[in-house]
Amino acid sequence: MPSPRSPHDEFFKAVFSDLNHARDLLQGILPAEVAALLDLSSLELEPGSFVSESLRKSFTDLLFSCPLHGTRAVVAILLEHKTWEPTHPHLQILRYMVGIWEKNLIDQVPLQVIIPVLLHQGTVPWKATPFSAFFPDIPESLSVFIPDVRVILQDLVQTGDARLQTDFHHPFVQTALAIMKHIFSPEGTLAVARSLNPDLAGLPKEDALHSLHILLEYILRSGDIVLRNALIEALDPNLKGETMTIADALRLEGREEAVNEVRTIADALRLEGRAEAENEVRSIADALRMEGREEGKEEGIRASKIEDARKMLEHGIAWTVITDITGIKPEEVA
């Protein structure tokens, strides 16, 4: 069974599948002499992934191609989101590149130049140890047999916040990288959240709303309930409603996942012939589902009362009267 995608994977792909965002990321990461050889204005997103199933818990990737001297180069952006550095990342990168070349052979196309870009987020700095360092006692005459596995590294752990603002130029890319850098720190995450504003540094309204939704959903998916509540309190008042809507959706989504997991257990018990236990487990699933429905009804009623309170307030009705009628208090209306 495939491993479920992590919120880090989902966010990375939601942001950088957009060619404008990917182009800005690459222009900020690639060395000038490499970027000068590539026509990034003709960047194209390629389908598929070459990350093996065993690596999906900590790696994800996006593949792009662009013109290079009459042929096309592959620029592979890999996101590594462990909180510790793997012992032999060179082997993972090498296997990844071989996978692309094997696909070239299957497709009967010339082998492509691959430029691996590693975007690292975590809590431990990436050491970038040369592969040759793992063979300290080899005679110099044999060093030519050690592959020189190179990767262009952007280590968010070691990248200062100021550099994110100078090296990258798209407001969404700047903010996305800042969130990725601080996502493992509640204090850092809240600091970035407080800097968010409804127009996201002047983006068109629709782009800003879409981008903010992606950012807020990532934060909410990655944090615990304490961080979620603190986030809602820390945000610009105009963003609180959007955040609460996302948080409610995620809570209901989580409940549905729990229902499905319980049903899976019930099916397994049925196959084992344990009918009594199966019935008990199915009753739990039904209770969870009904509880979710009742919560949905209650939330709908509350939302309607908040809207009524707003309308009454607009007509100059005193809060004491509004609270008596609706039960809604001033602090509940953003």
What whole-number distance in Å separates Cα of residue 149 and Cα of residue 276? 58
Helix (H, G, I), strand (E, B) or coil at 72: strand
- Taking only the tens place, the pLDDT of each residue in 1-47 is 444 567 888 888 889 999 999 999 999 999 999 999 999 999 999 88
What whole-number distance in Å separates Cα of residue 190 and Cα of residue 195? 9
Q: Where are the alpha helices (DSSP H) in the chain?
A: 7-16, 19-29, 32-35, 89-106, 161-167, 171-182, 186-194, 205-222, 225-234, 237-271, 275-314, 319-326
Q: Closest Cα to residue 90, out of 122, 116, 63, 114?
A: 116
CA distances from 210 to 198, 204, 217 (A): 11, 10, 11
Residue bearing the bigger pLDDT, 258 or 210: 210
Mean pLDDT over each residue of the chain, to the nearest integer: 76
Whether the predicted pLDDT of 256 surpasses 60: no
What whole-number distance in Å separates Cα of residue 245 and Cα of residue 220? 11
Q: Which residue has the tokens 């099916």?
A: 267
Q: Which residue has the tokens 């879409």?
A: 210
Element (H, E) at 77: strand 71-80
pLDDT level of residue 325 (50, 70, 90 thresholds)? low
Burial bucket for residue 90 (CB in 10 Å: 0-12, 13-18, 19+): buried
What region, left, alpha or beta, does residue 301 occupy, with left being phi > 0 and alpha being psi -120 to 50 degrees?
alpha
Q: CA 189, 58, 134: angle at the middle one, nearest 5? A: 115
Q: How far is the first Cα of the chain from the last one, in angstroms, to the nearest whole number?
A: 44
What whole-number distance in Å separates Cα of residue 117 and Cα of residue 62? 10
Residues in the chain: 334
Q: Where are the alpha helices (DSSP H) in 17-88?
A: 19-29, 32-35
Spatial contact of 81 and 121, defined as CB atoms under 8 Å apart: yes
**Other C-beta atoms lying within 10 Å of the C-beta of residue 45:** 13
**Regarding beta strands 152-155 and 114-120, do their DSSP bridges make them parallel or antiparallel, or are they unpaired?**
parallel
What whole-number distance in Å separates Cα of residue 74 and Cα of residue 287? 51
Residue bearing the bigger pLDDT, 294 or 324: 324
Residue bearing the bigger pLDDT, 289 or 80: 80
**Other C-beta atoms lying within 10 Å of the C-beta of residue 241:** 13
Q: What is the pLDDT of residue 243?
A: 57
- Taking only the tens place, the pLDDT of each residue in 291-318 is 554 454 455 556 666 776 776 677 666 6
Whether the predicted pLDDT of 185 surpasses 70: yes
- Taking only the tens place, the pLDDT of each residue in 269-280 is 555 555 555 455
| Single-letter residue type at 133 | A
Q: Which residues of 11-42 are buried (b: 16+ CB within 10 A; e: fewer)?
A: bbbbbbebeebbbbbbbbbbeeeeeeebebee
| Single-letter residue type at 217 | E
What whole-number distance in Å separates Cα of residue 183 and Cα of residue 189? 5
